[in-house]
Amino acid sequence: MKSLIIIKIGGNVIDNPDALKQFLTSFRGIYGHKILIHGGGKIATQVAEKLGIQTTMVDGRRITDQPMLDVVTMVYGGLVNKQIVAQLQAIGVDAIGLTGADGNTVLSKKRAVGNIDYGFVGDIEEVNSGQIQYFIRQNLVPVFAPLTYDRSGSLLNTNADTMASAIAVDMAIRNETTLVYCFEKKGVLADPNNEDSVLAELTPESYANYKSQGVISKGMIPKLDNAFSALEKGVRKVIICHANQVAEAVSGSGVGTVLSLGTQE
Amino acid sequence: MKSLIIIKIGGNVIDNPDALKQFLTSFRGIYGHKILIHGGGKIATQVAEKLGIQTTMVDGRRITDQPMLDVVTMVYGGLVNKQIVAQLQAIGVDAIGLTGADGNTVLSKKRAVGNIDYGFVGDIEEVNSGQIQYFIRQNLVPVFAPLTYDRSGSLLNTNADTMASAIAVDMAIRNETTLVYCFEKKGVLADPNNEDSVLAELTPESYANYKSQGVISKGMIPKLDNAFSALEKGVRKVIICHANQVAEAVSGSGVGTVLSLGTQE
């Protein structure tokens, strides 16, 4: 199987033009087939504010009413996505910007209203990996905005971490897939106050230990649970690293935190 | 050669959700390979206004400074393009939304500053018809926003009529290409006050006659000049028709105005 690298970058990289440029240069250095999934960043909130649309967050998640769906469609699907594509093209990466609606690539269902009505938020139901495979076979580099669609004509706001792992799991059927979460730290830290205390490796066992010792803290737990779940579903490796170091992390030069099932190695 | 239908819809259709829905249903009815190019509509001006960005028009053309480029990237490349794609997918058309940067499809150059500085406006230099051909061969339906890019990382605002004819001319090398301009009239009218006075056919000779008689008026002349130029460069047929009648016009049922070189038939 051919190798495939799937990389997710967060909003903090997108909000900083210099950091984004550095990341895209590093991204270009990754050899072979690759896919980028980007988060939203603060621009959507700023644009919404200027348009007089109020942003409501519950537990760190944006409530997406119809005006806010229009804003995220404009900002994530238009401004951020197309700027990344144009910048990648300028450095020789044949990028193609996509939402889940484009080429029918990522289908989702509007989240059922429970205690909280998240509005136009999509939970992924199906990844059309055949279509995505077809793009990468043509040496195109898909760049996904965190938007999916519901088969009935509506786009849905979707968490970029979840979208990255859903795509990775489905692509793992045909590719030796590595999933990389880039963020503003060098990896999973043993001591949140020490930027250099990066844990080089995590297995389900060591992860359980670190959790019980309280070494790995609240904010990282959903991300890591999600990552281990992707490994169990066939993704070969998950790397958590700084956005500037993505090419080194992927080439196995020992930067970042590498998650694997361990026992299978 | 396989036939290919390239359709341009204007802003007036996009500004009216019911008209857009009707158009997309008619568009679905067109058999075979097809490409859609959409204009901008008034939403960009409205969004810009709310964001406190002033819209300056000179001779009916928008001056695109950096804040306005961000707005048109959001609105044309994000909101309008992705809503059209999601609506087409919902009715079974496997659409893929593109700007000229995506897949390196339409390259342009920032217009030189003459008497007027149009700002970030692109004049098309190259259409990557191989890439577009590859999409249609996969039975994808490209949906282009009126944005191109300059090879250096900047998107450029581009006239949708011009983009449609440039794509049609390049695609005509490998396809029997029909270019359709949809608008709010039933075709080119002999009498602007009579909606039913549609001229069924136009050749370079009859066009010259109508112009000298003053039958064809100012606003239509650049559009028709552009259309005849596309015919001279290999496009088989140009049709000018109402957005609701696009499927009938393409199937040759006598609606709309059909432009051809005449002498070759």
**ipTM computed for the complex:** 0.94
Partner B contacted by A18 (CB < 8 A): no
Is B236 annotated in some ligand binding site? no
CB < 8 Å to B44, chain A: none
pLDDT band at B216 (very low <50, low <70, confident <90, very high): confident
Q: In chain B, what percentage of residues exceed pLDDT 70?
A: 99
Determine the Cα–Cα distance for residues B188 and A230; give it in Å rounded to an integer: 58
Domain ranges across chain B: 3-259
- According to the model, what pLDDT value does residue A265 have? 45
- Tens-place pLDDT, residues B157-204: 999 999 999 999 999 999 999 999 998 889 999 888 898 999 999 999
Residues lower than pLDDT 70 in chain A: 263-265
Q: In whole numbers, what is the pLDDT of chain B averaged over residues? A: 93
pLDDT band at B263 (very low <50, low <70, confident <90, very high): low
Partner A contacted by B158 (CB < 8 A): no
Partner B contacted by A85 (CB < 8 A): yes
Determine the Cα–Cα distance for residues B109 and B121; give it in Å rounded to an integer: 8
Determine the Cα–Cα distance for residues A4 and A32; give it in Å rounded to an integer: 7
- According to the model, what pLDDT value does residue A33 have? 97
Q: Shortest CA distance to B90 belongs to which of A100, A97, A70? A: A100
Number of Cβ within 10 Å of residue A176's Cβ equals 15
Does position B12 have pLDDT exceeding 90, yes or no? no
CA closest to A130 among chain B residues: B138
Does position B124 have pLDDT exceeding 80, yes or no? yes
Contact flag A97-B95 (C-beta cutoff 8 Å): no
- According to the model, what pLDDT value does residue B26 have? 93
CB < 8 Å to B97, chain A: 97, 99, 101-102
Q: Decide: residue B16, CB within 10 A, 0-12 exposed, 13-18 middle, 19+ buried.
A: middle
Q: Which residues contact B46 (CB under 8 A, 6 or more apart)?
A: none
Does position B62 have pLDDT exceeding 50, yes or no? yes
Strands A95-98, A141-144: pairing is: parallel
CA-based torsion, A13, A14, A19, A21: positive or negative: positive
A60 phi, psi to nearest 5 deg: 75, 5
Question: Contact, A235 vs A206, CB < 8 A?
Answer: no
Q: Which residues contact B16 (CB under 8 A, 6 or more apart)?
A: none
Question: Contact, B146 vs B205, CB < 8 A?
Answer: no
Determine the Cα–Cα distance for residues B187 and B192; give it in Å rounded to an integer: 10
Distances (CA, A) of A47 to A41, A67, A264: 11, 11, 47
- According to the model, what pLDDT value does residue B91 have? 97
- According to the model, what pLDDT value does residue B265 have? 45
Question: What is the average per-residue pLDDT within B129-135?
Answer: 97
Q: Shortest CA distance to B34 belongs to which of B73, B66, B6, B74? A: B6
CB < 8 Å to A44, chain B: none
Question: Contact, A35 vs A167, CB < 8 A?
Answer: yes
CA closest to A69 among chain B residues: B79
Partner A contacted by B152 (CB < 8 A): yes
Question: Contact, B34 vs B27, CB < 8 A?
Answer: yes
Fold of B3-259: Carbamate kinase (3.40.1160)
A89 phi, psi to nearest 5 deg: -60, -40
- Tens-place pLDDT, residues A85-99: 999 999 999 999 999
**Hey, which residues 86-145 in chain B have their CB within 8 Å of chain A?**
86-87, 89-90, 94-99, 101-104, 134, 138, 140
